[in-house]
Amino acid sequence: MTEQKKTAVIGQPIEHSLSPVIHNFWINKKKINAAPYEKIEVSPNNFNKSLDKLINSGYYGLNVTVPLKELAYSRCDELTETAKKTKSANTLIFKDGKVHGTSTDPVGFEVSLHKEIIEKNIKNKQCLVLGAGGSARAVVFALSQMSADVSIFNRTQEKAVKLSKDLGISANVLEEKDIKKQTGSFDFIVNTTSLGLVPDETNNLVDFSLVQKKAFVYDLIYEPKESSFLQQAKANGIRFQNGLKMLIGQAAAAFYVWHNTEPSHYSELESLLEKL
């Protein structure tokens, strides 16, 4: 019998990660010869030592989540173009004595979007990205690949300038006062900030009464299912989506990297995750 592939997600905190539910769902459905996918707490201070240990104990691949994606990127011997551009690695594979890394976050974001939204609200359209952290890098990269005209607003403006420069795109970096003036011109607005993750925290970065009714609003947050940001879009009759499909999309791409087979049963998985 060939050895079972060992995979896991590493990060800190890791307790609430949904990745094991997703990967184990597909491992079972697709009858993959793999050990159950695990979650392992790894602190940024011990990143390299912990990774060595995991490699030596026979892991075949790892997903990497907050706050380790940049460290993982720095540790890789081989990187895909996407990982190089976004300076981030969320999927590692250990083979030929090397650490190979990619980032499946941009493709996860792209596949989470309905084709009609890409055509009508993103391609050659005005898109506003809120935030300039790790998730924003993936989203801005994906939007620019979809030929969007990207504007970025971040509390710390220099980070938005740097993000745009690093990705080699000419995004429009906004100041807070510009947002109000330009709100009505956006066809797509996506929140990548962590505002709204904590109960009772409200994301007031956009005045939704100024947003066009044909616009589409996206929040990467999926817990709560309807963040304060999405609730405001809903109250103003604007279509919206949370980050659950992106979470599934990035996992699907990682699953393909390790197991060389397309995952399946997406709707069943989505219902399962929504019930957790």
**Residues annotated as part of the active site:** 69
Task: State in angstroms the smallest separation of the CB of 103 from ligand ATR.
Answer: 12
Task: State in angstroms the smallest separation of the CB of 159 from ligand ATR.
Answer: 5
Q: Which is nearer to ligand ATR, 75 or 159 (CB)?
A: 159
Task: State in angstroms the smallest separation of the CB of 15 from ligand ATR.
Answer: 17
DSSP string for 205-239? SS-GGGS-TT-EEEES--SSSS-HHHHHHHHTT-E
Task: State in angstroms the smallest separation of the CB of 194 from ligand ATR.
Answer: 5
Task: State in angstroms the smallest separation of the CB of 197 from ligand ATR.
Answer: 9
What distance in Å separates the CA atoms of residue 126 and residue 165, rounded to the nearest whole number? 19
The DSSP bridge pattern shows strands 61-64 and 91-95 to be antiparallel
Q: Are 266 and 34 in contact (CB under 8 A)?
A: no
Calculate ∠ Cα 149-207-169, nearest 5°. Answer: 20
Q: Which is nearer to ligand ATR, 53 or 155 (CB)?
A: 155
Alpha-carbon distances of 133 from 87, 102, 111, 157, rounded to whole Å:
11, 18, 21, 11
Cβ atoms within 10 Å, residue 163 = 25
What distance in Å separates the CA atoms of residue 72 and residue 93, rounded to the nearest whole number? 11
Place of tokens 């817990």: 223
Q: Which is nearer to ligand ATR, 156 or 170 (CB)?
A: 156
Residues that bind ligand ATR (CB under 6 A): 66, 131-136, 154-156, 159, 192-195
Task: State in angstroms the smallest separation of the CB of 254 from ligand ATR.
Answer: 17
Q: Which is nearer to ligand ATR, 133 or 224 (CB)?
A: 133
What is the three-state SS of 123-175? CCCEEEEECCCHHHHHHHHHHHHCCCEEEEECCCHHHHHHHHHHHCCCCEEEC
Q: Which is nearer to ligand ATR, 51 or 152 (CB)?
A: 152
Place of tokens 């300039």: 132
Q: Which is nearer to ligand ATR, 121 or 154 (CB)?
A: 154
Query: Which residue is at the shortest CB distance from ligand ATR?
Result: 133
Q: What strands, in cross-sheet order, belong to the sheet with 216-219?
A: 172-174, 149-153, 126-130, 188-191, 216-219, 239-241
